[in-house]
Structure 1
């Protein structure tokens, strides 16, 4: 009698466990579908946003290219025009990176290291930073160690 009772209670427990597992599997499946739909919506949103950001940025880049061809403009405003052009290029790279990150896992991120003149790279970063600090009336100072290498192998687009 006891063995029959244990067998029946084991059967009931097994049935309850099976039903519970099926319910949990169903919930996980629904959660997975919601997550996938959310990822797709995020990718579509990021593609639209980056397109909308690129449109005015292309106008800025186009005008800076025109201004760079005008000798009088370059004589009077060359430094500012070059800074705008570099900053717009940098912004375009960032927009492209945002789009790439939204489409891929960070595990699939591919680096493209190239040899870069470190002093030129740092100078560009300083000029872009100085613009922001000047607008905000903040002091800005920098000092490079004399032992910095002149050439480094980096993915300069990612590092920016």
Structure 2
């Protein structure tokens, strides 16, 4: 993470918004655990900026971040019977080559809702994944969600 020109920081990722490489970010200096990186559109951003603006620092991703980030996706679609889970897993694991961290899916009255946590490199990869999942027949929407949702 880079701040002002020439500044480099050690940091931790805020769990409330789970930023990944490529997201617009800012740093917040905590009293107990140092610099936490938040997405600029974090649900907590307005509160932090309004009440603790003096502890907010400019931040941007460095060019060579070789880290896997965890992203949560919400998938909603038509439950057409067996095969939906297999199609999603095949698309993510076999076709794209991703590691799935967690997967939870439930169905009711002909629709399903799935929450999936996957390891990604950056937000370009997330956008590709969302496009690929939307190609699966019966999937109506795929969106990135924060941990709090």
Same fold by TM-score greater than 0.5: no
**Greater Rg, structure 1 or structure 2?**
1
TM-score, normalised to structure 2's length?
0.20
TM-score, normalised to structure 1's length?
0.19
Question: Relative contact order, CA 8 A, sep 6+: which one is greater?
Answer: 2
Higher helix share: 1
Higher strand share: 2
